[in-house]
Every structure is written in C-alpha cells, then in structure tokens.
Homo-oligomer: A and B are copies of this chain.
Amino acid sequence: MSEKNYCPLHYTMGLIGTKWKPLILFHLLDGGLRSGLLQKKISGISNKMFTQTVRELEKDGLISRKVFAVVPSKVEYKLSERGRSLENILRSLDTWGVEDNPK
C-alpha cells in the first residue's frame, strides 16, 4: 500500500477536495454562522450533504461546532485555527475563478 510519488497536495485535497467543503469554509471566512444561515448560503446543497460535510470538517479540525442550550435549538459553526490557515488558498481559488476568462 505504499504510495509511490506521494505528494502533500494529495493530502490537502483529501481534506478539502470535495464539492462542498471549500464552499462551506469560504462562507465562514467572514465569521461564524449559525447552522441554518450557513446552509442557506450554500446554494443547492441538500440537508443530508450539509450535515455530512460539516461533520467531516469538524472531525478534521477545520471548523468548530458550538451548541447553544436554547429553544429553539441553535448551533454555530466557525473556522478553527487550522481552518483559518486555509484562508489564503480559499481566497486564491475564488480570485482565480473571477479572473479566469475561458474562450
């Protein structure tokens, strides 16, 4: 199982290289958001995928999850230190998408 030519890029993509993860992280760059609001910002994501994705991000220590003991229930997500360290990359990816002009 030893991966020849293993490269750190592969490791990074294993953490954030999915359809939804970068978007969620990106929308948290400007500060923490409660669950429902964050989900609404991620257009097109299903409830299932949203929950599943934030769980993985939390497990990998890229975001933190804070539960408030109130009714109705309230949950807030925000970037962890580790997640914050991706800020430059996330903004670069976004900027590239702005500047890129196909055709």
Q: Write the residues of chain A forming the contact surface with B, with a CB cutoff of 8 angstroms.
A: 3-13, 17-19, 22-23, 26-27, 40-44, 60-61, 82, 85-86, 88-90, 92-98, 100, 102
A5 touches which of B9, B42, B85, B93 (Cβ 8 Å): B42
Cα distance, A39 to B3, chains bound together (Å):
14
Residues of B contacting A6 with CB < 8 Å? 43
A61 touches which of B26, B89, B98, B102 (Cβ 8 Å): B102
> Given A3-B44, A17-B18, are A11 and B97 also a contact pair (CB < 8 Å)?
yes
Determine whether the beta carbon of B90 is less than 8 Å from that of A9. yes
Cα distance, A84 to B11, chains bound together (Å):
22
Residues of B contacting A5 with CB < 8 Å? 40-43
Cα distance, A6 to B27, chains bound together (Å):
11
Cα distance, A97 to B102, chains bound together (Å):
29
